[in-house]
Structure 1
Amino acid sequence: MTPVPTSATGTADCSPPRGTKSIRESWAQRRFNLPEVWKLTRGAGVTVAIVDSGVDVTHPQLSKMARSLIDLTGTGGGDCIGHGTGVAGIIGGSEIKGVPFAGVAPEAELISIKHTDKDVGEAGRLAHAILRAVRLGADVINVSVKAYDQPDLKKVVDYALAQDVVIVAAAGNVSKDDGTSTPAYPAAYPGVISVGSANPDGTRASSSSTTTPVSVLAPGVDITSTSPGSAYAEGLEGTSFAAPYVAGVAALVRARHPGLDHLAVQRRIRLTAGGGAGVGTGSGMINPLLAVSAILPSETVAIAPDEAAPLPADAIPRIPVEDSRGTAVAAWVALVSLSLAVLAVLTRLVTPLGRRRGWRPARIESGG
């Protein structure tokens, strides 16, 4: 693999967009009813790597990431554009009482791997960031960036999948200039969960790419999430913010079903999604509750077949029990009957002879 630079000259100006302190409950929070999902799992024990623009860990819902910032740009681990902070919040922002927003998997461990400090990135450094995530033990990697196909990126993605890592990536957005789009990588690589953007009614958002093969849809219009400066951003749009919803669900599935490999996790997410119709929708909108709770026949543990039920009592005719006493009596009766018959025959033969001899004893004639 061609060496990938691990640092770059940063920019002096770091001016993330200003957010708001007051937010309403978003449609995505209402649709997924996450408190019901959290009764089963909150993602504890699963590590999710966020390959993005860094994270502002001063945000109270992301403070747990304070020691989990990896910087590959040489500009520090903070977030100068707010993108990575928003992605991190959707995946695993902690709950705060009174705040109508929290991440999909609030107890998952989050790692930020900063590969850019702008709204664009370099593919070589992106590949290095994914490799770093694998070596740090990530169970799930979220890549909310669009890159072009190139050998190093493909090799690293294949390596991550071989290490049983779930990779979730944004399918990309349609260009606002001419309405066209090109395939987004790593989303377009086999084995990666490619995420399209959905409207509140579950249909594909017009801005979501139809060029990249899509696995599932997730909320990607009018999104609310964390923002730098302990604030929140509303009205976010794009597959960049749809992908982290799926990464959060992948974390929940891995926590609830630790024996599943990355392919089984992806299959579970796809089979429990619904409403997909038309190009660019894949299996449809994700369903976190079903993803963690559905019973899929192919995943059930093989169980030895039940013992066959005993045959009914009358299934086979009974064999009469032999009566030894009755048999003996019958034999004696038969023997006496036979003896009497023989005696009768002999009487008929002997009586005439006796009369002729005057009942004198018989005599054996001697030969001369």
Structure 2
Amino acid sequence: MKLPGGEPWAQKRLDIKTAWRLSTGAGVRVAIIDSGLDIKHPQLRGLSSFIDFTGTGYTDCVGHGTAVTGIIAGRVYPGVAFHGVAPQSTVIELKQSNQAEGHVANLAAAIDKAVQLRAEVINISIKAADNPILKAAVRNALARDIVIVAAAGNITDKNEDVPAYPGSYEGVLAVGSATPDGRRADSSNTATPVGVLGPGVGIIAPWPRGSYKLDLEGSSFSAAYVSGTAALVRARFPHLDQEQVRRRIIATADGSVGKGTGAGMVNPVLAVSAVLPFEPAGRPVVAAPAPAPIPADAIAKVPAEDVVTRNISLAVTAGALTLAAVAGALGVVLPRGRGRLRRAGPPV
């Protein structure tokens, strides 16, 4: 499928294929806690194990989980310019919601399940309020040597620039949204303690029904790029613990460019190649060859863009955003253990 403008700017900016000379994320287990996954998408087929906390099965009505998973681990496919950051990583898909909003209890349970399944990286492209159940689950995962990458959250109005969780918990790598020139996107939350930025404006990613979504925006997708980078680092430097992986990603970023930018744009190439004096001695894994494209006859061709499906998706997304706005206006946030959570970056 020819994408507008050829290769997505985020892939060019991060120079992901150069990083593949040293690591493709092979063997690293990445848990993705989101809205599900289109398991039939050509670049995602057979990609993951699937755990459903919603009782709604193998679907992704929102599209969010499919996009995030594709950015992290989408396989190379002939004729398609898009690919994931760590295409040889192993994905554990944990469906915690079938809507634009979800329940904190499901998020915490999904984190606990990721620990049980021995995930090495957890991506959480979700914004929630502080909650003792969520905090306990995060602490447990960090203690089990899991890198947790979380979205910093988005600003949709002047009243929402507040800390997002789990991104604001100590030990979590919070990710803000960046524009192509490396600046913080206006929609990226500044109240969350950002570690690094990731591409988060004008994003192209896989979408349900074998399609691709254009012009996505939000720190959800920024977090996915950083989770993919964490998988590259863990495969390249298996002797590093989760804190050291987080420090390496921050230390090799492109540099701060103002409030809410942390150490600046994530840099996968430096993250897998730089020699850092503060790290323990250890030999990196010998680099594997870059991933070969999926054979053209292995799976069906990517279907042409379905305008009707796209319009329906946009309508569903618009409806979800409207409902979220109404819920926010009505104060739909229950106390502590019963609190609700929202996507950190719904499609725009």
Q: TM-score range by the shorter chain?
A: 0.7 to 0.9
Cα displacement (A) at 1:183: 1.0
Specify the alignment match of 1:365 in structure 2: none
Whichever of the two has the greater Rg, that structure is 1
Distance 2:125 2:30 in 1: 13
- Residue 59 of structure 2, aligned match among 65, 69, 78: 78
Residue aligning to 2:121: 140
Superimposed CA distance per residue, residues 42-83 of structure 1 (whole angstroms, 9 cap, x where no aligned partner)? 0001000000000001001111235x1110000003111100
- Deviation string 1:161-213 (CA, Å, 9 cap, x unpaired) is 0000000000000123x354221100000000000000000010000001111
Counterpart in 2 of 1:35? 17
Look up the match of 1:189.
Answer: 169
The residue type paired with residue 22 of structure 2 is L
Give the aligned partner of residue 229 of structure 1.
Answer: 209
Report the secondary structure of 2:32's partner residue: strand
Q: Show the counterpart of 2:133.
A: 152
- Alignment correspondent of 2:193: 213
TM-superposed CA distance for 1:271, in Å, is 0.3
Q: 1:291 and 1:154 mapped to 2: Cα distance?
A: 28
* Matched position secondary structure for 2:102: coil
Cα distance in 1 for partners of 2:55, 2:103 equals 14
Q: Which runs of 5+ in 1 are unaligned?
A: 1-19, 303-368
Q: Give ranges in structure 2 of 5+ residues lacking alignment.
A: 283-348
Which residue of the partner structure matches residue 106 of structure 2?
A: 125
Q: Which has the higher contact order (CA 8 A, sep 6+)?
A: 2
Aligned to 1:90: 71
State the match for 1:268 in structure 2.
248
SS in 2 for 1:168: strand
Aligned pair 1:63/2:71, yes or no?
A: no
How many residues matched? Answer: 281
**Separation in structure 2 between the aligned mates of residue 77 and residue 213 of structure 1, nearest angstrom:** 34
Paired residue for 1:296, among 270, 276, 279? 276
Tell me the distance in 1 between the aligned counterparts of 2:167 and 2:58: 25
Q: 1:28 is paired with a residue of what secondary structure?
A: helix
**Which shows bigger deviation, 182-191 or 22-31?**
22-31
Shift of 1:34: 1.5
CA contact (8 A) 1:53 1:83 kept: yes
Whole-angstrom distance in 2 between the partners of 1:71 and 1:77: 8
Deviations 1:217-268 (A, max 9, x none): 0000000111001111110000011000000000000000000000000000
Deviation (angstroms), 1:275? 2.7
Q: % of aligned pairs identical?
A: 55
SS in 2 for 1:159: helix
Distance 1:31 1:64 in 2: 28
CA distance in 1, matches of 2:99, 2:79: 33
Alpha-carbon distance in structure 1 between the residues aligned to 2:168 and 2:77: 36
User: What is the distance in 1 between the residues matched to 2:95 and 2:2?
Assistant: 26
Cα separation, 1, equivalents of 2:280 and 2:112? 33
Residue 10 of structure 2 contacts residue 203 of structure 2 at CA under 8 Å; is this kept in 1? yes
Q: CA deviation at 1:130?
A: 0.7
Residue 148 of structure 2 contacts residue 172 of structure 2 at CA under 8 Å; is this kept in 1? yes
Kindly provide the amino acid, as one letter, of the partner of residue 224 in structure 1.
Answer: I
Match of 1:246 among 219, 226, 231: 226
Task: Decide whether the 8 Å contact of 2:68 with 2:220 is kept in 1.
Answer: yes
Corresponding residue of 1:25? 7
Amino acid at match of 1:56: D
CA RMSD of aligned residues (A): 1.3
Q: Any conservation in 2 of the 1:147–1:185 contact (CA below 8 Å)?
A: yes
**AA at the equivalent of 2:270:** L
**2 CA distance for matches of 1:121 and 1:77?**
17
CA distance in 2, matches of 1:132, 1:21: 38
The residue type equivalent to 1:282 in the other structure is: G
| TM-score where L is the length of structure 1 | 0.74
Partner SS, residue 128 of structure 1? helix
